[in-house]
Amino acid sequence: MSGNIFIYIFIMAAVTYLIRALPLTLIRGTITSRFIKSFLYYVPYVTLAVMTFPAILSGTASVWSGLAAFIVAVALSYMGKGLILVSMAASLIVFLLELIIV
């Protein structure tokens, strides 16, 4: 059973939606377990950290521009700058650096 692109797309969409919707709709009350609450508190930080590094190094045309973007993003975030500014600054440093090194 394979080959029809629309069936592929439908299966993907159904599986992905169910993964997102089931926990949101089945967990209606407040979780009381301290362990589970702490676990869920840490989840986004770990997931985003894992997805950011080292992937940021290979997302650009050069490892060095990726590293520079990472340093700039961490530094500006640490100084408490907003999402847009941090994103734009990271993109800008990559663009400028790659004019020179790529």
Partner 1 sequence: MEKKGKWYKKGLKDGLPVGLGYLAVSFSFGIQALKANLTWPQAVMMSMLNLTSAGQFAALDTITTMGTYVEMALSQLIINLRYCLMSSSLSQKIGENTPFFHRFFMAFGNTDEVFALSAAQDKPLSPYYSYGLMSMAIPGWTLGTLLGGIAGNILPDRVLSALGVALYGMFCAIIIPPAKKSRILSAVIIIAMLASTIFTFAPLLRDIPSGIRVIILTVSIAGIAAWVAPMKEEAV
User: In the range 66-85, which residues lie near partner 1 by CB under 8 A?
Assistant: 66, 69-70, 72-74, 76-78, 80-84
- Kindly state the smallest distance separating residue 67's Cβ from partner 1, in Å: 11
DSSP secondary structure letter of residue 79 = T
CA dist., res. 89 & res. 11, Å (int) = 39
For 80-99, give the secondary structure using H, E and C.
Answer: CCCHHHHHHHHHHHHHHHHH
Task: Report in angstroms how near the CB of residue 102 gets to partner 1 at its nearest.
Answer: 8
CA distance 88 to 51: 19
Considering the complex, what minimum distance in angstroms separates the CB of residue 63 from partner 1? 12
Binding residues for partner 1, how many (CB under 8 A)?
79
The residues near 53 (Cβ < 8 Å, ≥ 6 apart) are 70
Q: Does 89 bind partner 1 (CB under 8 A)?
A: yes
Binding to partner 1 (CB under 8 A) within 31-50 occurs at 31, 34-50
Query: Min. distance of Cβ 80 from partner 1 in angstroms?
Result: 6
